[in-house]
Amino acid sequence: MFFMIWQGINENLFTTKPEAAWITLIVGIIPVVLIFLFLKMKLITVIDQQGVGCRFTILQKSFKRFEKDDILSYEIRKYKPIQEYGGWGIRVSGGKKGTAYNVSGNMGLQLYMKNGKKFLIGTRQEVSLGRAMEKLMGKPGPE
């Protein structure tokens, strides 16, 4: 990327071929911007009296909500992000695994919904998340 920009400057593309120079500059800047946005992205999880919400900063403006009345059960569990969901991010796994919202790590809040769907929300604060879920649901998750 930096080589492309350096080459454009050294070959005077900005004066001899301005179109090629702008393309080189854009192709060089886009990866830097994407890496910056990726590093700034965070997964925010909120548990309140109505249910659970999560959202990725930068990608989502509003929270994905899981209403308390729609949650059948939950568990805080260790999972294998690559094997189970194909990595990190918003991952939709076809079949029995469900959807995952995760950034890093291998611990998460697994929600089992009354409609049969499953959602996993990654966390690094599994103990406090477990306490908040006990308070919300009025009972501990499955053993």
Backbone CA torsion sign across 58, 59, 62, 66: negative
Q: Are 40 and 125 in contact (CB under 8 A)?
A: no
Q: Are 66 and 119 in contact (CB under 8 A)?
A: yes
The pLDDT tens digits along the chain (143 residues) read 555 555 555 555 555 666 666 777 777 788 888 787 777 778 889 999 999 999 888 776 788 899 999 999 999 999 999 888 888 888 887 667 899 999 888 999 999 999 999 999 999 999 999 999 999 998 655 54
Give me the CATH number covering residue 94: 2.30.29
Q: Tell me, yes or no, whether 69 and 93 share the same domain.
A: yes
Q: Please indicate, yes or no, if residue 143 is contained in any of the structural domains.
A: no
Q: Tell me, yes or no, whether 16 and 67 share the same domain.
A: no
- Please tell me the predicted confidence (pLDDT) of residue 143: 47
- Please tell me the predicted confidence (pLDDT) of residue 56: 82
Q: Please indicate, yes or no, if residue 125 is contained in any of the structural domains.
A: yes
CA dihedral angle for residue 120, residue 122, residue 127, residue 130, rounded to 10 degrees: -20
pTM, 2 dp: 0.71
